[in-house]
Structure formats: structure tokens, C-alpha cells
Structure 1
Amino acid sequence: MNTIESQFDKVAEDYDFVNELLNDYSFLVSNMSPKKGRALDIGCGSGLLVEKLASYYDEVVGIDISNQMLDLAKSKRQLTNTVYLNMNAEQLNFNEKFDFIVSRTTFHHLDDIASVIQQMKELLNEEGRIVILDNVSEVETPPTYVYKLGAIQEFLPHCFKFGIKNAIRIYNHNTSKSWLEHLASDKYLSEQNYYDLYEKLLPGCQFHKMGWAMGVVWTK
């Protein structure tokens, strides 16, 4: 079991709870491919995005390296047109191609982004689309206190929006030892690094800066 897998296994249930409340998938859904055959979610976690895409695509495959996350996906979000697989994003192994390949907050875990992008391009049908949404930061690995302060600042707004019980659970997850240890191992790209790297790997791609995240959209 690698480190990332172990870290997500430890926080799977709370991560799913928090992300079900907080995640906004509108950018990813609004940039879907014109053809709606098969879609692939790389780093699908507990299947939140897979479930949404399943309303639009004939088949949606979600891959992740955390068995705990995949167990949650299968128990909560298994549909007739969804498939969940334990697969490393850096070793994509499919015989069929996809119209849409998407990934949310996974690429900062990868050791070789260029290799993964090349595999994605090879798995993409003509006129297919790749959409990547990932963290952007001028500090490669922000210090732990930044996340703790953020959790404190968000607590009251979360109380008003989700109720105090849910706000406490969100806070406890965001400041837990396991989650903070995971965040301490993350390495983010700067805005300029995004432009330099992805323009080279996906010529002509579109960039969308959205606060904490950078979105990249490329059509084959």
C-alpha cells in the first residue's frame, strides 16, 4: 500500500461526507464532451462525480487507488452504467477509448504528469475532451497552519449553511491529524507552471483560474 492510498483509506468516510456537502462540479459538467458515449474519472474517490456524469454518458468508469473510497462509491453510488476499478492513474489499462476523461484534485499526487497526459490522449476518441481541475498555489506545499486557519475561518459560515453538527464534522475532518498529514505531502503547481506545463502537453488547451484551483480543458 502506498502512502497516498493509506492516507485516503484513513479519512474515506469523513472525506466523502465533507465533499458531498462542499464540492461543486459545475465546471466539470459544463465542459463535458459533445459525444456522450464513455467517460473516465481519474481519481474518482467515493464516486461523487461519476454519479453526476452517469446522468449524461452511456457508461462512466471511475478509478482510484483507495479501496476504502471505492467501497463507499460502490455502496452509495453504484448505478447500472457505472464501473469502479482499483487502478493507478499512472498505469491506465483499458482496451476501449473514451469521449470524456476528467480528473479533479488528483494530479498533484502524480509523479509523472507528462506520462499520464500521454496515456489519456491515447485513450481519447477523436473530438473527445480532457478536463483537469487541480490545486494551484504559489507555495508548492503550504504550511499546516494555513489549513488550520482556513478551517477556523470557515466554521461559522458552515454553521449557517449546513448546521452546527455538520459544521463541527467538517472542521474536525479538516483539522484531523490524518488529513493534515496528507496535506503536508501535497505539492502544488504555481499558475505560471500550469501554463508552461500544460500548454506543452496539451497544445491549445484552455485555462480557467478559479481561486484555489486551475481548470484545463483540451479537445482532441
Structure 2
Amino acid sequence: MRGAHADPQSFDPFAGDYDRYCDLHDPLGDWLGERIAELSLGGARALDAGCGSGRHAQSLADAYDEVVAADLSPALIETARLRRPHSRVRYQALDLHDIADSDGFDLVLSMATLHHVPNLDKALRHLRTLVRPGGTAILVDNVSARPTPPRWAYLTGAACELPRDILRLGPRDAWWLYRFRTSRPWLAHLLSDRYLSRAQFERRYREVFPEARFTDLGFAHAMVWHRP
């Protein structure tokens, strides 16, 4: 594990470790695959805004001819290019607000990213402009009853997950996962996050995406919206 870094919100200093963490623990990936199948999604173009190290962008390439995968972190984009190259995926190191495409997208996806943006309403409005007529937006983010859960809650959660991870992954990967979850850089990152409550999420997102549908995912909340 790497040491502390100046900007706790940045993924750059532990991009490789974060990628491995997501390989070992990605509950949203299964949910996304089920929604793509359930909604019969697919088409010419998809956007993964806040793609991280590319795990979801790679899955989108099975259903879309072209996937644009953008993330603010150059280190995560480089990790994606090295570990998840795909002929139909184009990785770009971009701020979400700088994503511009006159053709638009059949799917605009953002997973566990939007709590990082400084102006949520502006980001939501921008993502809406990128959805083609007849297209779909799927936006998922973490939620919490308090804006930032305390440090002890994350440590307790890591300890509770360890026995289940041993059964699921085996002792070696489970112990690595526990060490990552309790590492100083990761905890500093989590404690720099600010979350909406579930009710706040629905109110803020519905203001920009009327008639959206919402799903409770436990630690996260999901919005699905179809543009007329």
C-alpha cells in the first residue's frame, strides 16, 4: 500500500491498487449487466463518464459499437489503456464538464463518480445534453444518511467483510482487500467524500431528469432515464 498523499480525492497515487480493489469488489458491475440485458440496451455509441480503470467501459463494448470512456485521473486512464484495451473503447483523460460530442450517445453512464464533482446540478445538466433522442442515461452514486460516514464505520465494515471475502475469494485476496480498505490513503479518500441522502439524490436528479426511475442499491442509488 502507498503512503498518504496531498489530495485525498485524487486516485492517481493508488490507481493500480484501486483497479485491483475493483476487480475483487464490484457489486455495481453485476447490476449494470443486468440492467443492460433487462432494458435491451445497445446501439452505436455509449459514454462512460468517470470510467475509472475501464471495467464498465469494457462491458459496454459488448453492446455498443463505440464507447467513449472518460475520467479526470490520468493515472486511471493509463491503467485502463494498459489493462483493458479494446478496439471499440476510446479512453480519454477529461474532466466530466469537458466531454463534448455533437453526435451524442445512445447511453450515458456514470457509476459512483458524481459525488466528486464540485457542482452537481451543472454536471447533471451537461450529461443530459449528451443523451441522444431515444437514448438512455444511467447514473449511479453512493448515498448516505450523513454526508460523510465516520472513519470507524469504514473500519468496522472492512472487518465485517473479511470473513465473507475469505469464503468468496480465498485468504490471500481477502487479506489484500482488507488491507486496502483500511489503508491510510483509501480512508483519507473516503473521508474526503460528501454524499447525498437517498431523498436528496432523488430530488436533485429528478429536477434535471423528469420522470426518471430510481432503484435502491443499499450503499448506492441508481437513476434510469429515457430521453423521448
| Structure 1 length-normalised TM | 0.94
SS of corresponding position for 1:84 = strand
1:211 is displaced (CA, Å) by 0.6
1:199 is displaced (CA, Å) by 1.4
Counterpart mapping for 1:33-52 below 5 A:
34-52=41-59
* TM-superposition CA deviations, 1:133-169 (whole Å, max 9, x none): 1111111101111101111111111111111110111
Aligned with 1:71 (options 72, 78, 81): 78
Corresponding residue for residue 64 of structure 2: 57
What is the number of equivalent residue pairs in this alignment? Answer: 218
Distance 1:76 1:197, change over 3 A: same
Corresponding residue for residue 7 of structure 2: 3
Root mean square deviation, CA, Å: 1.5
Aligned with 2:33 (options 20, 29, 38): 29
Q: Give, as a single letter, the amino acid of the residue that structure 2 aligns with 1:173.
A: F
SS of corresponding position for 1:196 = helix
Counterpart mapping for 1:23-172 below 5 A:
23-24=26-27, 25-32=29-36, 34-172=41-179
1:26 is displaced (CA, Å) by 3.0
Distance 1:218 1:147, change over 3 A: same
| Structure 2 length-normalised TM | 0.91
1:16 aligns with 2:19: yes
Unaligned runs of at least 5 residues, structure 1: none
Q: Give, as a single letter, the amino acid of the residue that structure 2 aligns with 1:46.
A: S
1:28 is displaced (CA, Å) by 2.2
Unaligned runs of at least 5 residues, structure 2: 1-5
Q: Give, as a single letter, the amino acid of the residue that structure 2 aligns with 1:85.
A: Q
Instruction: Choose 204-213 or 120-129, whichever is displaced more.
Output: 120-129
Conservation of the 8 A alpha-carbon contact between 2:211 and 2:225? yes
Distance 1:30 1:126, change over 3 A: farther
Identity fraction in percent: 32
Conservation of the 8 A alpha-carbon contact between 2:42 and 2:63? no
Q: Partners of 1:93 and 1:172 in 2: how far apart?
A: 39
Q: Partners of 2:24 and 2:89 in 1: how far apart?
A: 22
